[in-house]
Amino acid sequence: MSPRSQAGFTTASLVFILVVLGALGAAMALFTQRQHMGSAAELSAARAYQAAHAGLEWASFEVLRKPLPPAAAPACFGTTQLSFAPATDATLSDFTVTVFCARTPASGTVSDGATTLVFYELTAVACNQPVGGACPAGATPSATYVERSLSRRVAR
């Protein structure tokens, strides 16, 4: 073979290797990007859980701290939105928590022998993109939307 025909073969091999390496580089970049997006989503999910848990703790405190009026059960506070101020907790500052409270049964109290109990169903919904200042989002959420909902039943 002449050196001229070998040069063409080397050029074709070089182009093939560059295309394969370019495809591998693009695949690695895509894989790395998806890994970072997955990690960010997991972190946001954990923060949303913590925000919802904080909302439940606040709601439990609100329901259980108030003294019982004579011969009456305290009412729920209804629906409340909580926002975390950056000065107090920067890790939850982009989350809004909507807390719902309902008495169960709605008719009033439940007696257990001589003890009269009032049950409250508390639900906290935390999200990072509230609609109208409240969670859950009513519209179709974006790809970075995160929401967590936690419930608790307390009695007093």
Rounded Cα gap, residues 56 and 69, in angstroms: 23
Residue with the larger pLDDT of the pair 20 and 36: 20
Q: Are 95 and 126 in contact (CB under 8 A)?
A: yes
Q: Are 59 and 122 in contact (CB under 8 A)?
A: yes
pLDDT over 70 (residue 104)? yes
pLDDT over 80 (residue 78)? no
Rounded Cα gap, residues 33 and 27, in angstroms: 10
pTM score of the predicted model: 0.69
At 75 the pLDDT is 63
Residue with the larger pLDDT of the pair 24 and 5: 24
Q: Are 53 and 124 in contact (CB under 8 A)?
A: yes
- Which range scores top for mean pLDDT: 3-12, 26-35, 85-94, 141-150? 26-35
The mean per-residue pLDDT over the stretch 50-76 comes to 75
Residue with the larger pLDDT of the pair 151 and 109: 151
pLDDT over 60 (residue 118)? yes
